A = this chain, B = another copy of it.
Amino acid sequence: MIAIGEAARQSGVSIETIRYYERERVVPAPRRAANGRRVYSDKEVGRLRFIRRCRDLGFSISEAKGLLSLSEGENSNCAKVKEIGTAHLNAVRCKIAELTALEAALEELTANCRSGSVSCQMLEALAR
């Protein structure tokens, strides 16, 4: 049973963010000590760590919440987890494709942008 600062250290979620998750009901509110301070069990720290791992993998808060409740459900429904995971994987791949297109466009624009030339290719492309 630890205080919020230690829970932050153990979970890798900042104090402010922990309180935010509580406010937004991403995780259940922990019980309070007599002095009104939050008290965390290992299980609750585990939830915070779970959410942080989801966020690190790029899942949204609501996806993370869904995965957490699947993780805590009676029947661990692997199929649903996989569905959420592959949907997100697809989204990540789309994002990569978009950024790769951007990269190519920026490469071309900046390559043609030589200091000293009369006109700036990049500005011209943007203004066209």
A interface vs B, CB < 8 Å? 46, 49-50, 53-54, 57-58, 67, 70-71, 76-79, 81-82, 85-86, 88-89, 92-93, 95-96, 99-100, 102-103, 105-107, 109-110, 113-117, 119-120, 122-123, 125-127
- 4 smallest CB-CB distances across A and B, nearest first, come from A79-B115, A78-B120, A85-B110, A89-B106
Given A99-B96, A102-B57, A103-B89: A78 touches B116 (CB 8 Å cut-off): yes
Within the oligomer, what is the number of copies of this chain? 2
Q: B119 near A76 (CB under 8 angstroms)?
A: yes
User: In whole Å, how far is A109's beta carbon from the nearest beta carbon of chain B?
Assistant: 6
Structural contact, B46 and A127, CB atoms closer than 8 A? yes
Q: In the complex, A49→B123 CA distance in Å?
A: 12
Contact of A113 among B78, B113, B115 (CB under 8 A): B78
Instruction: Give chain B residues whose Cβ lies under 8 Å from the Cβ of A99.
Output: 58, 92, 95-96, 99
A54: chain B residues at CB < 8 Å are 126
